[in-house]
Amino acid sequence: MAENPDPHDLFSLPGFTRPAPHGGFPAYELFPEVAYEIVHDELLLDGVARMNLATFCTTWIDEPARRLMAESLDKNIVDKDEYPQTAELEHRCVRMLADLWHAPDPATTLGTSTTGSSEAAMLGGLAAKFRWRARGGTGTPNLVSGPVQVCWEKFARYFDVELRQVPLRGDRYTLHPDDLAAYCDANTIAVVPTFGQTFTGLFEDVAAISAALDRLHASGGPDIPIHVDAASGGFLGPFTAPDLVWDFRLPRVKSINASGHKTGLAPLGVGWVVWREAADLPRELVFDVDYLGGHMPTFNLNFSRPGGQVITQYYDFIRLGRAGYTRVQSAIYLVARHFAEGLRALGPFELIHAGEPERGITAVAWRLVDGADYNLYDLSDRLRVRGWLIAAYPLPADRQDETIMRAVFRHGFTVDMVQLLLADIRRGLRQLTDNPRRTPLTRAEAGGFTHDARPEVPEQGPPPRA
Ligand SMILES: Cc1ncc(COP(=O)(O)O)c(C=O)c1O
C-alpha cells in the first residue's frame, strides 16, 4: 500500500487516520493491533493503580497468580458441573475462611464467593431479613449500623429495609455500643458493625457491640443478630491482631463478609460471605438450578462470573497460609506506620488512625489542624499532580463539617514509596503555603475518587426510640 510502506509502523496503518468511534455502534472493522493500541493509549489517562491510595483493592499480584488468572480466563464459576475442580476450590476457600473466623463447625457451615463485599453484604443482609421474617417479623425491617459503606445503603434501598445509621456523636469515629438500644427494636434484622471502617479504617468494637445487644436482650428487648462487614479487616485481624474478638467466637455473629480482592490479596473481582452455621442461611434463598446436565445450588445475585479470582484466592491461601499472611500483612502495617510517623513529623496534621493493627486496617487517616489557609482538598489536588491518588472527604453524620484524608496501604507499597510520597506531601504543603489560594478548593473541584458515594435522595434520619 502506497500510504503504508512500512507494515511494521503500526501508527500509519489505516484506522489511525480518524478518531475511534465514540457514539453510535461502529460501522466498520479495525485491525486488532489498531483497536488494541487505541484502547491502550486511551487508558494512559487513567491513574496509576499502585499510586492510588484511595482504593482498598489489590493492585499488585505475583507472577504465578497472573498465570492462573490467564489460564482460567474462560472458566465460568457458575458451571459447577463442567468445572468441578473450580467448584471444589471455592468450597475449600469457604471452609478455610470458616476456620479462620472460628465458625463452630467449619466443615459443615455454608458460604459462597461473590463479586466483592457489596454482593456478599447483600447476601448477608438478605439472610438476616429472611430469618427475621421466619421469626414472625412483620412491618418494615430495619438494619442498625454506624457509618457504613455505600453497599449497605444500596442493600437497604434495593431490598426495602430501613437503614438506621447511628450518627457520630462528639468526638466519636465509630459506632458506640451505648447508642444501640435507642435504635434497635423488634424489626431490627441485624446490627452491622464494620471491622475496618471505610472512612477512617478504624475497627468498630464488635465484642462491645455484641455485649450491648446481650444486655438489651437480657433486659427484655429483642434478640438481635450481628452481621460483621469485615470487607478489609477479615483478612487482617486473624493474622495481625489474633486476640481481638470480632468473629464467630461471639455467638451473636451470624454472618461475615470480606473482600478477597482487598486484604485477601486476590485479584479484583472476589468477595466472600460465610454463615456461622448452615441453619443461619435460610433454605429458600438457595436455588437449585438444573443446568447443562448438572444439579447446582446457587446463592448469588449474579449467575455467570469469572472463576479465575476464586482459583487465585485458593492459590493465595495455600501459598501463604497463616504464616505468610501474617508476614505480608505485618509488612504492610509497618509501611503504614512509617507513613504515619513521617506525616506527624510534617506538622499540621492530627492522626485519627496511625496504622496500628489493634485499632484498624492498614491505613492512615488524618485531619488538618485548625489555622491552615488551605484545606485537604487542596493537598489532595497537589498530590494528584504528582500521580498520587489520596482521598479527601467529609466525615459522615453528625460530623460532616470535618474533612479528613485517608491513605490505604496495600501489598506492593514499600517503605521507599512512602519516602517518595512524604517528599511530595512536603513539596505540596510548601507550594500551598507559599502560594495560598484565594478560595480553597471544594470537594467537587478536587475530583472524586472516594468510596463513599452518597445517594442522591435526602437521608432519612432514624427516629430514636422514645
Ligand atoms: C467496609 C466496606 N464494606 C463494603 C465495601 C464494598 O466492597 P467491594 O468493593 O468489595 O464491593 C467496602 C469497600 O471499600 C468497604 O470498605
The pLDDT tens digits of the residues spanning 292-343 come to 666 677 899 999 999 999 999 999 999 999 999 999 999 999 999 999 999 9
Q: Does residue 449 sit within a domain? A: no
The answer to whether 122 and 155 are in contact (CB under 8 A) is: yes
262-291 average pLDDT score: 93
pLDDT of 271 higher than 90: yes
pLDDT tens, residue by residue, 173-208: 999 999 999 999 999 999 999 999 999 999 999 999
Pocket test for ligand 1, best of 148, 259, 450 (most atoms within 8 A of CB): 259
Q: Which of 319, 352, 375 is the last residue of a domain?
A: 319
- pLDDT band per the 50, 70, 90 thresholds, residue 450: very low
306 and 335 housed in the same domain: no
**Number of structural domains, the chain?**
2
Helices 308-346/84-100 angle, 10° precision = 40
pLDDT tens, residue by residue, 115-167: 999 999 999 999 999 999 999 999 999 999 999 999 999 999 999 999 999 99
270 and 133 housed in the same domain: yes
pLDDT of 98 higher than 50: yes
201 and 144 housed in the same domain: yes
234 and 373 housed in the same domain: no
Phi, psi of 196 (to 5 degrees): 115, 75
pLDDT at 44: 96
159 and 301 housed in the same domain: yes
pLDDT of 246 higher than 50: yes
227 and 354 housed in the same domain: no
Q: Does residue 281 sit within a domain? A: yes
pLDDT of 371 higher than 50: yes
165 and 306 housed in the same domain: yes
Q: Does residue 291 sit within a domain? A: yes
Ligand 1 atom at minimum distance from 121 CA? 4
Q: Does residue 441 sit within a domain? A: no
145 lines ligand 1 (CB under 6 A): no
Q: Does residue 442 sit within a domain? A: no
Q: Does residue 222 sit within a domain? A: yes
The answer to whether 120 and 258 are in contact (CB under 8 A) is: yes
Percent of the chain with pLDDT over 90: 83
128 and 172 housed in the same domain: yes
Q: Does residue 72 sit within a domain? A: yes
pLDDT at 21: 87
CA of 97 to the centre of ligand 1 (A): 18
pLDDT at 444: 79
Q: Which of 287, 319, 351 is the last residue of a domain?
A: 319
Give the C-alpha separation, 152 to 193, whole Å: 11
The answer to whether 112 and 94 are in contact (CB under 8 A) is: yes
197-221 average pLDDT score: 98
Write out the residue range of the structural domain in which residue 269 sits: 66-319
Pocket test for ligand 1, best of 114, 163, 195, 198 (most atoms within 8 A of CB): 198
Q: Which three cell numbers stand for residue 243?
A: 486476640
74 and 221 housed in the same domain: yes
149 lines ligand 1 (CB under 6 A): yes
Please give the model's pTM, rounded to 2 decimal places: 0.93
Q: Does residue 450 sit within a domain? A: no
pLDDT at 292: 62
CA of 371 to the centre of ligand 1 (A): 34
Residues in the chain: 466
Take atom 16 of ligand 1 and give the residue whose Cα is closest: 198
CA of 410 to the centre of ligand 1 (A): 15
Mean residue pLDDT of the chain comes to 92
Q: Which of 292, 319, 346 is the last residue of a domain?
A: 319
CA of 339 to the centre of ligand 1 (A): 23
118 lines ligand 1 (CB under 6 A): yes
pLDDT at 465: 42
pLDDT of 77 higher than 50: yes
The answer to whether 255 and 189 are in contact (CB under 8 A) is: no
User: Can you give the CATH number for the domain in which 211 is found?
Assistant: 3.40.640.10
- pLDDT band per the 50, 70, 90 thresholds, residue 458: very low
pLDDT of 5 higher than 60: no
89 and 108 housed in the same domain: yes
303 and 334 housed in the same domain: no
pLDDT of 459 higher than 60: no
- pLDDT band per the 50, 70, 90 thresholds, residue 463: very low
User: For residue 378, what is the enclosing H or E element?
Assistant: helix 376-385
The answer to whether 255 and 128 are in contact (CB under 8 A) is: yes
279 and 365 housed in the same domain: no
The answer to whether 196 and 406 are in contact (CB under 8 A) is: no
Give the C-alpha separation, 283 to 302, whole Å: 18
pLDDT of 407 higher than 70: yes
pLDDT of 2 higher than 70: no
The answer to whether 124 and 227 are in contact (CB under 8 A) is: yes
Amino acid at 66: R
Q: Where are the beta strands (DSSP E) in 263-402?
A: 271-275, 287-291, 294-298, 349-354, 363-368, 391-394
Give the C-alpha separation, 131 to 416, whole Å: 50
259 lines ligand 1 (CB under 6 A): yes
pLDDT of 15 higher than 70: yes
pLDDT at 355: 98
